Amino acid sequence: MNSAAHPRRLLLVNGSILDVLGTREPEIYGSTTLSEVEELTRNTAAEFGYQVNSVQSNHEGILLDAIHERWHQVLRVVINAGAFTHTSVATRTSSSSWSTCSTPERRDPDARVRRIMRRARARAGRPGCGC
């Protein structure tokens, strides 16, 4: 990622099923919509002088194409992978080539699921999707 050319741009990538955030099982995931999350992200980032562009898709290839088209234009790519978090070899492989890459922790509402997924990721040698 080219921080010298684009020091204040971020790309927020939202994965599968996040388009129904706020309406899908609000008793578990809350009532905040993806649009509201994106707006909060843009507003918070703007307070620190950053510009955020976002993309969402339920199709992994579309997300990967968006990342590949834009990754050299932004300082960071932030991925909220949704259901791709634990299953996307393509996202992990793609993101492993980025020079500035950190691994977020996905927090599932169910603690048992979190433990199982962490164990599986650790055994596979890949925490999260690797992005």
Q: How far apart are CA 25 and CA 29, in angstroms?
A: 6
What was the pLDDT predicted at 98?
56
For residue range 24-62, list pLDDT tens digits in order: 988 888 899 999 999 999 999 999 999 999 999 999 889
Can you give the pTM of this predicted structure? 0.69
Q: How far apart are CA 51 and CA 90, in angstroms?
A: 27
CATH code of 75's domain: 3.40.50.9100
For residue range 116-131, list pLDDT tens digits in order: 665 665 555 554 444 3
What was the pLDDT predicted at 2?
46
Q: How far apart are CA 29 and CA 125, in angstroms?
A: 28
What was the pLDDT predicted at 79?
82
Is residue 100 domain-resident? yes
| Spatial contact of 24 and 17, defined as CB atoms under 8 Å apart | yes
| Spatial contact of 101 and 128, defined as CB atoms under 8 Å apart | no
Tell me the CA distances in angstroms from 130 to 20, 21, 23, 127, one per residue in order.
24, 23, 28, 6
Count how many domains the chain has: 1
Evaluate if residue 106 carries a pLDDT over 60.
no
Is residue 1 domain-resident? no
Is residue 107 domain-resident? yes
Is residue 3 domain-resident? no
